Amino acid sequence: MNKLNPSIKLHTYVGTFLSLWIFIFTYYIRPFDSGNFGNYLWWEFLSIGFSLITFLSYFIISILQDSIYQRFEKWNIVLEVLSILCFLFLNLTLAFLYYKSPFLNGIWSFNQFFYGNLKSALIFIPIIIFARNLTLKQLPKQSKEITIEQPKSINKEEKKITIKGEYKLDILKIKKEDLICVSKSQNYVEVFFLDQNNINSKLIRSSLKKIHSDFNFLTQVHRSHLINPSHFKSWKNSNTILLTQIEIPVSKSFKNNLRSI
């Protein structure tokens, strides 16, 4: 798997599906000796606990993998395998702690617990892979990159640029001259633009690097800011510039680049 759907919402659904599967499998198959085989109430508590632990473990891994994906802007088979292994290890560790808690007082050691659940894990892994692959079908068709419509004539509609992010609603169509600057905002970028002489902004799920790559008329003045040079007004001080209705910090490493423009 060389792709990843970073949507926490979709992976929450995956976690819910896996937790339900674990509950059914644990309660009805009973994959290890507990010393309480005929105690249905004990197995109910065990199955419910394992189910909740599975959901929690997968949710934690989902947040971590999203953070890694947004930082490096790529995904590959190695990261996919590591994500699944980290989930399995975290889930196994928390499940064992719950199993050995005074509430359940399980009789197996960690080694016994690990090897006793090994066969179950071999069944569980294909289900995880299947569920994660289902999330890829929900990726927007244009989620790989941001596309723009370059001006082709003097027609006003064609002179506009279109910014598209990862999701269908991540779209902004404005005139090139109305775009003031673009700023990084965690996993999004915030685009500032003029709308009938008033400042406005829109959050788009994308990265500053992609924006800069596709809109080469923008100038980087800070690791978190790109500006449209046509909106440059003046220097406020040695580390800040004034744009149209906006102040932007300037990093030392980008000063010479800005001054040359």
Distances from the Cα of 136 to the Cα of 18, 101, 139, 172, 207, angstroms: 17, 38, 5, 24, 20
DSSP letter, residue 205: S
pLDDT at residue 120 in the model:
81
> Which of 5, 16, 142 has its CA nearest to residue 66?
5
Report how far residue 161's alpha carbon sits from residue 204's, in angstroms, rounded to the nearest whole number: 15
**Residue 260 · residue 251 · CB < 8 Å:** no
pLDDT at residue 152 in the model:
47
Give 123-147 pLDDT, tens digit per residue. Answer: 889 999 999 988 888 765 543 444 4
pLDDT at residue 192 in the model:
94
pLDDT at residue 156 in the model:
46
> Which of 243, 141, 256, 230 has its CA nearest to residue 183?
243
Six-digit token string for 225: 């800011």
Q: What are φ and ψ of residue 25, in 5° steps? A: -65, -45
pTM of the predicted model, to two decimals? 0.55
Domains of the chain in sequence order: 8-136 (no CATH), 160-260 (2.40.50.1020)
Give 182-191 pLDDT, tens digit per residue. Answer: 999 888 899 9
What is the rounded average pLDDT for all residues in the chain? Answer: 85
Give 9-64 pLDDT, tens digit per residue. Answer: 889 999 999 999 999 988 888 876 656 656 788 889 999 999 999 999 999 999 99
